[in-house]
Every structure is written in structure tokens, then in C-alpha cells.
Amino acid sequence: MKIHKYDTVIVGAGGAGMRAAIEATKRSRTAVLTKLYPTRSHTGAAQGGMAAALANVEDDNWEWHTFDTVKGGDYLVDQDAAEILAKEAIDAVLDLEKMGLPFNRTPDGTIDQRRFGGHSRNHGEAPVRRSCYAADRTGHMILQTLYQNCVKEGVEFFNEFYVLDQLLVEVDGVKKSAGVVAYELATGEIHIFQAKAVIYASGGTGKFFKVTSNAHTLTGDGQAACYRRGLPLEDMEFFQFHPTGIWRMGILLTEGARGEGGILRNKDGERFMEKYAPVMKDLASRDVVSRSIYTEIREGRGCGPAGDHVYLDLTHLPPEQLDAKLPDITEFARTYLGIEPYTDPIPIQPTAHYAMGGIPTNVEGEVLADNTTVVPGLYAAGEVACVSVHGANRLGTNSLLDINVFGKRSGIAAAKYSAENDFVELPENPAQQVADLVEHLRNSTGKERVADLRLELQETMDACVMVFRTEQTIKTAVEKIAELRERYKNVSVQDKGKRFNTDLLEAIELGNLLDLAEVMAVSALARKESRGGHYREDYPNRDDVNFMRHTMAYREVGADGKDSVRLDYKPVVVTRYQPMERKY
């Protein structure tokens, strides 16, 4: 066991982590611990763009962007946070441009902008061009640009260090962050990182679904580490299903394809979104479009022999436009489906895409231990966090924005905290929990296999808590997850070695997914309404009287040692916008 001491430790090297690192490294001695090499993060898979009301190509302003974000989130958004997001978006884009990001340009040489779902002119009048983009590789460019600037600033990375535990120590009755415990993949060694401030930026948890746009490595590691130490998780029932994943594979095809003029069609060739969203049509918010697609499929208008998908039609767009604006997704269609998008429509289905919920934070990125109390020294930003700027449904292009705005904010805030505070003494045997976990999995002779349990979990989640949910399906999920968590105790790995033991890593990741799936299902069961990404067929309407509030889920351990999820609620911050019916 090795002990390291840093002012600031950042967990994760995707967009939020590296944006935070650029700020924190300038101001404090910072280490970035990352499960993957920095440029492997799933930020790089984001395609369509980053929203900011630059008004480079048409009239726009941050207030309209704030409104769209609040409405898109079905009024579960904390409006003070959304206002910060929309206001600081402009500087966030300009920061990236100055760091070197190669945005597409207008004929005037300014940053070009395009349409995206849910982003509108003057509170819903018509679609607006707000998304700043670099072809359909905006996430790739952001990730590369941030890494380039980390190299420039001399950011210190610990690559392939997997953080498994959050150390919390009570000092004078206040729970404070003392550091983290990490597992070094190359050697199997356990490392303690004592730090004055810790920032989680470890991304989402989409891998508990089978059809997902998420990377294999998105297993909710940061959420699980905090949750197991008694910290709450907010709004975990809200998960976004992106309308256009490649049929069966789930690979993302950007909403930018519809922003460029792409159309969704059913088996009759009908542009069905005209029925569901007369104004915004194919560019309604993602939850609306995903539900519309499944409604078409359920009512027998899906495509293919099984009628289990619809088409994304780009055939009316000029090939030059596809080549210039959508080169990657057209290549995905060719590579993975053998389809030529110039001439043939692309079979798509909704794909599990983004966790709106996560570790609750305030607008400085400080993690909350309950509805109001901050955990001193602990921060979170990006998909792992819930600020909440996305509410019940995130707008496209607001996640690349979120990681930049709140990555920067948390980096600055954490470094300031490090400068003003001392180290918290490490608890006794700080590595104990991780050592026990690793030893248990390495030595287990149980008969359960990781791949089997994971597949059963994913199939359960796809069947029971996807786009449409009912009390019955969610209860089925809760029961199945409980069974899988029980069986997980008997999981064993074949690789008993220390060196690059990815077999062990996958077992640990599965444990995280199971815990978080339980939180999600339990939170979803209790929310007896439909809002944004959470759609209950048995409660099809939004219920602002009883449910315009954030879910806060806590892990409770009973006297018998069994754990369960306890739910509490937190009020939504409302500033300008009273809830209205949501129409696109």
C-alpha cells in the first residue's frame, strides 16, 4: 500500500475532470486519477455540439437558453443552476476556442451554430441555431483540446488507477473528505490518496442497460463509492433514452443529423413526429421523440420483419452536406450496418444514453450530504453529478456544456478550498474496505459468473425501466435486482493475478452497477407520475403537487447488516419560470 498526498485529487479524466484539472493545477498541487487513459473517456463519443447563445448566426440570448433547459427538464431543473449554465455557456465556448478547439466556422470566420432538439427562439416559437460544433465530432474535439491543455499545464495523471472508495472522516461532528482509495490496474496495488479536496468526474452509469450508447467502462464508479459511504444520490430514476441509436447496437447517431434536416419515418414512410410535436417535429426534446418512436413501434408501424425499429432518413440531404457535417455517423452506418446513408435510411431505436441524476451538488460543485449540508472538501461535476441543470430530461448539447461550466467551477472551488484548509487525518486502516473487496473477489470460489449476472441485469433494465414503465415492470426489476445482488455475493473471477486483472475489474464494476440499478428502480417505483425521461404508463401525467421535487436516495444498513434504499425528497429551486404544460 502506498500513500500519496495532494492538495486536490480529481477522479476521472473525461471532459469534466480535465476541465477541472486545468483550473486546479494552476492553483494547487493536483493529481488526476483515471481508470482509463485520458483520451479514452466517453466525452469523445459526444457528437452534435455544445449549446451557447453566441447569436453568431441568428438572434439568441442566454435567457431563452435557460428557459429551454428548464422546460426541457420538465421543470425539475434547479433554475438558479440552469441560469448559470446558460450564462456561462458563452464563456465556456470561447474558452475552448482560445484553447484551440477547431470549431466549424461561418463565412465570417466566427463559430458556426446549428439546430438541436428542444433549443428554441423566444420560448418555443421555432428552432434556433445554438449548438456550436465541430462536424459530428464535437466531443472528440473537446476531449482532445482539454487533454492538449492538460499537457500544456503539466497536469499530473495517474493512468489506469481505479478509485474504489471515498474516505470520509468526522471532525467535530462534521463529515469531511479525507481522500480516496485507488486500485492500480497494472500492478494490483492499493494506493491511498490523501487530499484536501476531491472532485468526482467519473461519468455515467449507462452500462446497466443492454442497448446503450455508453462505453463498456461507464459503470457508475464514483456514484457507487459515495453512495456506499452514506452520501445521497439525487434523481436516479431519470435516465435519458436517446432517440437515435443504431438498431440493436445502441451506437449513437447524433441529434445533429435531425438538426441538419434528417427525418424520422415509420414503415409507411410517414414523418410521424409531425403528429406528436407539430412545431419542433423531429427536433422535439429527446424524451418526447423516444416515446413517439416506441408508440409507433407498439402500434404496429415499426420497420423490419419484427417491426422493432424506425428509420432515420438522410437520403434527401446532399451527400456533400453529409460528408461535411455528419462524416462520423454516416461512416458508422456503413461500418456497422453496411448501409449507404446517401441512398438508404438508417434503422434506429432509442438507446440508453445519459444519467440526469447523480451525486447532488450545489452550483460550486460542492457535494451535499443531505438537502442542504455540504461535505467539506468533496466536489463532483459532469454526468456523475446532479446540480441539477438537466432535471427530468437533458437537452442535447447541454452535457458538453455542463462538463465545461461545472468542471471549471468545481476545479476553481476545490483548489480554493485546498488553499484555505488543512489535510484531514486519514481514518485507521484507510484501505480496509477496498482490500477486503479485492481479496474477496480474487479468492472467491463461488459459482456465479460476472458476464451472466451483468447480462441478466441489462436485460431486466431494458425490459422494465426503459422508455415506458409501470408499477408492475418496476417491481419486477426491483425483485430481479435483489436476486442478482444476492447472487453477486457468490461471484468469482478466473483471473487470480495482480497484473492488469481486468476480470477482477469487471467484477467490481458489476457490483457498482447492481447497487445503482437498485437505487434507480426504487426511486422510479416511488415516483408516481410521468416527467421527462421517467414515464409511468400507470401515471401518465406530471403531478406538480406531489412530485415537483428531487428524489434523494440513501443507503441504509439495518441491524441485520442488510442494506436498503431510503428515499427522501428535496425541493426544486424555482426562480423565473412557473411550471407549464410542455408542448413542442
Partner 1 sequence: MATPTLDKMEAAAAASPFITVTFRIRRFNPEISDESTWQDFQVEIDPKERVLDGLHKIKWDLDGTLTFRRSCAHGICGSDAMRINGKNRLACKTLIKDINPEKPITVEAIKGLTVMKDLVVDMEPFFQAYRDVMPFLVTKGNEPTRERLQSAEDRERFDDTTKCILCAACTSSCPVFWNDGQYFGPAAIVNAHRFIFDSRDEAGEQRLEILNDKDGVWRCRTTFNCTDACPRGIEVTKAIQEVKRALITRRF
List residues forming the annotated binding site for FAD: 12-17, 34-49, 221, 383, 399-400
Query: Is 527 assigned a catalytic role?
Result: no
CA angle at 15 for the pair 11 and 17, rounded to the nearest 5°: 25
Site for partner 1 in 111-150 (CB under 8 A): 111, 134, 137, 140-141, 144, 148-149
Question: Judged by CB under 8 A, does residue 571 bind partner 1?
Answer: no
Whichever of 113 and 530 has its CB closer to partner 1, that residue is: 113
Whichever of 263 and 548 has its CB closer to partner 1, that residue is: 263
Question: Judged by CB under 8 A, does residue 55 bind partner 1?
Answer: no
User: Residues of 183-205 as b/e, b for ≥16 C-beta within 10 angstroms?
Assistant: bbbeeeebbbbbbbbbbbbbbbb
Whichever of 50 and 197 has its CB closer to partner 1, that residue is: 50
Least separation, in Å, of the C-beta of 505 and partner 1?
10
> How far is it, in rounded angstroms, from Cα 62 to Cα 522?
36
Residue 543 burial (10 A CB sphere; 0-12, 13-18, 19+): middle
Residue 425 burial (10 A CB sphere; 0-12, 13-18, 19+): exposed
What is the separation of C-alpha 7 from the centre of its chain, rounded to a whole number of angstroms? 27
Least separation, in Å, of the C-beta of 161 and partner 1?
14
368 DSSP β-pair partners: 374
Contacts for 273-276: CB closer than 8 Å, 24+ residues apart: 276/584
The dihedral built from the CA positions of residue 142, 147, 151 and 154, taken in this order, carries a sign that is: positive
With CB under 8 A as the contact rule, the residue among 63, 80, 184, 344 that binds partner 1 is 344
Least separation, in Å, of the C-beta of 256 and partner 1?
15
Per-residue binder mask for partner 1 (CB under 8 A), 198-237, x = binder? -----------------xxx--------------------
- List, in sequence order, the alpha helices (H) in 42-78: 62-72
Question: Judged by CB under 8 A, does residue 163 bind partner 1?
Answer: no
Site for partner 1 in 458-487 (CB under 8 A): none
* Binding site feature residues for substrate: 242, 254, 353, 394
> How far is it, in rounded angstroms, from Cα 15 to Cα 366?
18
Question: Judged by CB under 8 A, does residue 495 bind partner 1?
Answer: yes
Among candidate residues 130, 228, 265, 286, the one labeled active-site is 286
Whichever of 339 and 573 has its CB closer to partner 1, that residue is: 339
571 DSSP β-pair partners: 549
> How far is it, in rounded angstroms, from Cα 441 to Cα 488?
10
Question: Judged by CB under 8 A, does residue 98 bind partner 1?
Answer: yes
Question: Judged by CB under 8 A, does residue 443 bind partner 1?
Answer: no
Least separation, in Å, of the C-beta of 557 and partner 1?
31
Per-residue binder mask for partner 1 (CB under 8 A), 234-273, x = binder? ---------------x-x-------------x---x----
Question: Judged by CB under 8 A, does residue 315 bind partner 1?
Answer: yes
Question: Judged by CB under 8 A, does residue 514 bind partner 1?
Answer: no
Antiparallel, parallel or unpaired: β 156-159 and 161-171: unpaired
With CB under 8 A as the contact rule, the residue among 6, 62, 103, 227 that binds partner 1 is 103
Whichever of 219 and 397 has its CB closer to partner 1, that residue is: 219
Question: Judged by CB under 8 A, does residue 313 bind partner 1?
Answer: yes
> How far is it, in rounded angstroms, from Cα 196 to Cα 424?
7
Least separation, in Å, of the C-beta of 535 and partner 1?
28
Site for partner 1 in 290-309 (CB under 8 A): 303-305
> How far is it, in rounded angstroms, from Cα 499 to Cα 495?
10
Least separation, in Å, of the C-beta of 41 and partner 1?
7
Whichever of 215 and 279 has its CB closer to partner 1, that residue is: 215
> How far is it, in rounded angstroms, from Cα 235 to Cα 527?
10
Per-residue binder mask for partner 1 (CB under 8 A), 24-53, x = binder? ------------xx-xxxx-xx--------
> How far is it, in rounded angstroms, from Cα 174 to Cα 584?
46
351 DSSP β-pair partners: 242
Site for partner 1 in 548-567 (CB under 8 A): none
* Binding site feature residues: 12-17, 34-49, 221, 242, 254, 353, 383, 394, 399-400
Per-residue binder mask for partner 1 (CB under 8 A), 169-188, x = binder? -----------------x--
For the chain, the straight-line distance linking the first and the last C-alpha, in angstroms and rounded, comes to 56
Least separation, in Å, of the C-beta of 77 and partner 1?
28
* Residues 6+ positions from 312 with CB-CB distance below 8 Å: 244, 253, 257, 258, 262, 263, 264, 345, 346, 348
Active site residues: 286
